Amino acid sequence: MIERLRNKDLQTRIVTADEAASWIQDGMTLGLSGFTRAGDAKAVPMSLVERAKTEAFKVNIFTGASLGFDLDKMMAEAGIINKRLPFQADASMRKKINDGALYFVDQHLSHTAELIRSQVLGSIDYAIIEAVAITEDGLIIPATSVGNSSIFIEKAENVIIELNLAQPGELEGLHDIYSAEEQGMRGPIPLTSVEQRIGIPGISVDLSKIKGIVVTEALDSPSTIVPPDAETAQMADHLIDFFRSEVQAGRLTNSLAPLQSGIGTVANAVLHGLIDSEFENLDIYSEVLQDAVFDLFDHGKIRFASGCSITLSDEKMQDVYANLDKYREKLVLRPQEISNHPEIIRRLGLLSINTALEADIYGNINSTHVSGTKMMNGIGGSGDFARNCRIAIFVTKSTAKNGAISSIVPFASHVDHTEHDVDVLVTEQGYADLRGLAPRERALVIIEKCAHPKYKKQLLDYFEEASARGGQTPHILEKALSWHTRLAETGTMLEKEQAVIG
Ligand code: COA
């Protein structure tokens, strides 16, 4: 422990998680470390959940992204959350959000730090941050994620550190903490290549703000992604074909351009598909580094990877932690404000791969709301990347729920990424390159290349009827959402005649 808690003054501030949790009062706002199950503050939130068994209180919970350890589930079920932002990915919390039992602000992940810095989100009473070490000088060394931890520490009135002895000490040295100035007083962020370090190796803090240090010993909870399947392998093949055509056209080289890949099973599987491709010497400039990034490392495909969290399956976590030395020189973890920064995304010219729940025939993408109303997870960083990257690629299986749902619909029931920010759409059926196409051209390409065969005729019928009415982006407004209402009424988006033929 002394090796991890090297600042002598702080050695007297060790408290139990229950004691730290007792400082939290009803109505407070907490900034918790944690990004897609990685590096989350674990013990104090759990003590808060315990406290809720005998006392009613509510707090606002701000994080980097989703929490592991079932913390979002437990806090939602304990009823202690008033407002949650900027992202979550838990089924119980999802239900509470959709039942209206708590407020959820679904926010671009690069925005939270700016909103905190400019005091739009009010003050943060406690930052509760997981660390693997505190240096002699009092630098906080984060664990497997940086997320929003640095802005929470900078702006919070009080800080509680969860010093996690189970997380590998070798994580020290991996982080690059850069703090942006206030807007209007800021120069360019000097990051011009993926591997560049522009900050310091830990988070600096006014030591008088550290109210307590809680010692913990638990690894992150593993990710829940499932392995690639036949359909995701087909999607990866189509994506590789697209990259090949870009190389042939002279717009990319065999090293492509820095890649960003979103969360979840599909994005992970599609990235995984690059293992068997001819592309090599790849750079990753992403948010979450999932299993596929380390699989690509192990196959010698990656030159350097930059992210803001490492989120791994159980098996991969054991393997990566046992071999951290192997990856250390080729990895950096940054604050999410930097990993997702528009200026850098545009400068580096990223190829961004994110997942859609549904896309409409003109290329508008819904990544968050099932049937237009029910929150799934949140937009996460997908908008940060799609809006600013070199090529915005969205992937989705062409159908969901055993074919009852077409992921290609006439009219997206909620729009996270507009047609203006979507360049390429990939399903297991093929890919549609939408760049330079007008809406009427886009519709035909998307239906032909991406829609599932059993929904193609329905989509074409809609498009033809709509086109007869005219317009830049033809629609039959009274029928635009009829696929979603049919799903609600009959359990499938298929029209009766098509279902019989199918
Ligand atoms: N309507 C209803 N449900 C749908 C659907 C649709 N059009 N398309 C997919 N689904 C369901 C699937 O059936 C699955 O349900 P299940 O969990 O009950 O099996 C679930 O959504 C997840 O879909 P899956 O195909 O397994 O994809 P995934 O794990 O890759 O997740 C997203 C897909 C869109 C939910 C996920 O990528 C996400 O939250 N994205 C938004 C945030 C983001 O892109 N961040 C990236 C920046 S890092």
Parallel, antiparallel, or unpaired for β 140-142 and 126-134? antiparallel
> What's the pLDDT score for residue 475?
98
Read off the pLDDT of each residue in 69-76 and give the average, rounded to a whole number: 96
Check residue 499 and give its pLDDT: 63
Share of the chain above pLDDT 70, in %: 99
> Average of pLDDT values for 101-112?
98
Edge-first strand listing for the sheet containing 408-409: 365-366, 358-360, 408-409
Which atom of ligand 1 sits closest to the CA of residue 384?
Answer: 47
Taking 90 as the threshold, does the pLDDT of residue 143 lie above it? yes
Reduced to 3 states (helix: H, G, I; strand: E, B; else coil), residue 53 is: coil
Q: Which of 72, 285, 350, 355 to mutate to test the pocket of ligand 1 (most atoms within 8 A of CB)?
A: 355
Q: Whose CA is nearest to atom 11 of ligand 1?
A: 400
Distance CA 268, CA 191 (A): 26
Please count the other Cβ atoms lying within 10 Å of the Cβ belonging to residue 155. Answer: 17
- What is the three-class DSSP state of 312? coil
Element (H, E) at 501: helix 496-501
382 vs 327: CA distance, rounded Å: 26
pLDDT for position 265: 87
pLDDT of residue 244: 97
107 Cα–ligand 1 center, Å: 17
**Exposed/middle/buried for residue 44 (C-beta within 10 Å: 0-12, 13-18, 19+):** buried
pLDDT of 285 > 60? The answer is yes
Per-residue pLDDT reduced to its tens digit, 445-466: 999 999 999 999 999 999 999 9
Other beta carbons within 10 Å of 135: 16
Q: At what angle do helices 453-469 and 439-450 cross, to 10 degrees?
A: 170
What was the pLDDT predicted at 227? 84
82 lines ligand 1 (CB under 6 A): no
Asked if residue 410 has a cis previous peptide bond (ω within 30° of 0), the answer is: no
| Of residues 382, 353, 385, the one with CA closest to residue 368 | 382
pLDDT score at 502: 47
CB 236 within 8 A of CB 273: yes
List of residues 6+ apart from 35 with CB closer than 8 A: 63, 64, 65, 66, 145, 146, 147, 148, 287, 288, 308, 309, 311, 336
**d(C-alpha 331, C-alpha 308), whole Å:** 10
Mean pLDDT (whole number) for 177-193: 96
pLDDT tops 60 at residue 58:
yes
Q: Would you say residue 500 has pLDDT above 70?
A: no
By CB neighbour count within 10 A (0-12 exposed, 13-18 middle, 19+ buried), where does 328 fall? middle
Residue of 94, 234, 263 best suited for mutating to test ligand 1, as the one with most atoms within 8 Å of CB: 263
Ligand 1 closest atom vs CA 355: 37
Question: End-to-end alpha-carbon separation of the chain, Å?
Answer: 64
Q: How far is Cα 335 from Cα 489, in angstroms, rounded to an integer?
A: 45
Q: What is the mean pLDDT of the chain?
A: 96
Question: Could you identify the residue written with the tokens 């505190």?
Answer: 134
Tell me the catalytic residues.
287
Cβ of 376 below 6 Å from ligand 1: yes
Amino acid 102: pLDDT: 98
Q: Is 359 in the pocket of ligand 1 (CB under 6 A)?
A: no
- Say how many Å lie between the CA of residue 109 and the centre of ligand 1: 18
User: Is pLDDT above 90 for 1?
Assistant: no
Whether residue 5 is predicted with pLDDT greater than 80 in this model: the reply is: yes
3-state per-residue secondary structure call for 294-310: HHHHHCCCEEEEEECEE
Check residue 438 and give its pLDDT.
98
Give the model's pLDDT for residue 228.
Answer: 86
How is 137-181 classified by DSSP, letter by letter?
A: T--EEE-SB-BTHHHHHHH-SEEEEEEESSS-GGGTT-B-B--PP
Q: What is the mean pLDDT of residues 244-259?
A: 98
Question: What are the pLDDT digits (tens) for 316-356?
Answer: 999 999 999 999 999 999 999 999 999 999 999 999 999 99
For residue 357, give the ligand 1 atom closest to its CA: 8
Residue ranges with strand state E in 266-420: 282-285, 288-289, 302-307, 309-310, 331-333, 351-355, 358-360, 365-366, 369-370, 374-375, 391-395, 399-400, 405-406, 408-409
> In this predicted structure, what is the pLDDT of residue 187?
96
CA of 264 to the centre of ligand 1 (A): 7
Based on its alpha-carbon atoms, the radius of gyration of the chain, rounded to whole angstroms, reads 23
Which residue type, as a one-letter code, is found at position 445?
Answer: V
Residue 234 scores a pLDDT above 60: yes
| 40 Cβ below 6 A of ligand 1 | no
Cα of 383 vs centre of ligand 1, distance in Å, is 16
